[in-house]
Amino acid sequence: MEDHLKYTVEVTRRVQMVLNHHLAGMYLYGSLAFDDFSKDQSDLDLLAVTKNELPIQVLQQVQGIISARKLPCLGKALEFSVVTEDAVQQLSPRPAFEMDLMTGNETGDEVQFKATHSDFVLHFEVTRQAGRRLYGPYPNEYFIPQEKEMILKALLAEMEWGKEHLFHSLHDPFGANAVLNGCRCLMFLYHGAMVSKRAGGEWYLLQDRFYFRNLVESALAVRYTDQPRAVDRRSSLDFLSTITAQLHNEMPEKTINH
């Protein structure tokens, strides 16, 4: 774990070197911030906040010095995003981002500039609740709370993506990620908390009213032991469909109809 934290410090140093006074904050979020990091299964998630929009040429400079080609990643991949202060301090169902980079030692770079995506609603809320400050203001004082309706809508999109990529050779080869992300969705529905995959799964098993206990036990074993066996496909799809229905039930009628 210490090596991974050193890696985040080095990424921060390189970003500061390029952005200088334009950089307002750097934050670690996701599995490493939750102390739930797996070198072979987890992405390392970093979010940079800038004081203003930046030229694409500057963003490309940042990409160039933190790409796995120049700085080998210590996890499955580095997901590095750049957003502005306006983006983290204003509510939007599809927040704008300056850059979204996924870079891995084996996968190379996938990057997008100057766009919007609902995933950032979740990124911002996870960072606010559980992110670690690497530079700048503390996240719980800097990121505004996301509206529940927008979080639910983003979680719905995440569940649909999870179903589409269930047993995908790169994203979820054994099906455990989608199942445990479903547990995280339920944790948010019941408690408003953004938690790790492990915490979501373990919380689910403590609830007597839930039905898919064997599936969740299997998903936890896949992710946190050496068990190579995949979770059951039919049970996984039924579980994810059940959670999708619960998320829909929590949405205001006007949002669903829209």
**CA angle, 8 as apex, 3 and 10 as ends, to 5°?**
90
Number of domains in the chain: 2
Q: Are residues 7 and 70 in the same domain?
A: yes
pLDDT at 1: 56
| Domain stop point among 142, 159, 174 | 142
Whether residue 258 has pLDDT greater than 70 = no
Token readout for 92 is 């939007």
| Residue predicted with more confidence, 108 or 60 | 60
For residue 129, the enclosing domain spans 2-142
Sheet containing 96-104: give its strands across: 108-116, 96-104, 77-84, 43-50, 23-29, 132-135
DSSP 3-state assignment of 170?
Answer: coil
On whether residue 258 sits in a domain, the answer given is: no
pLDDT at 15: 98
| Domain stop point among 123, 142, 161 | 142
Whether residue 254 has pLDDT greater than 70 = no
Q: How far apart are CA 101 and CA 46, in angstroms?
A: 10
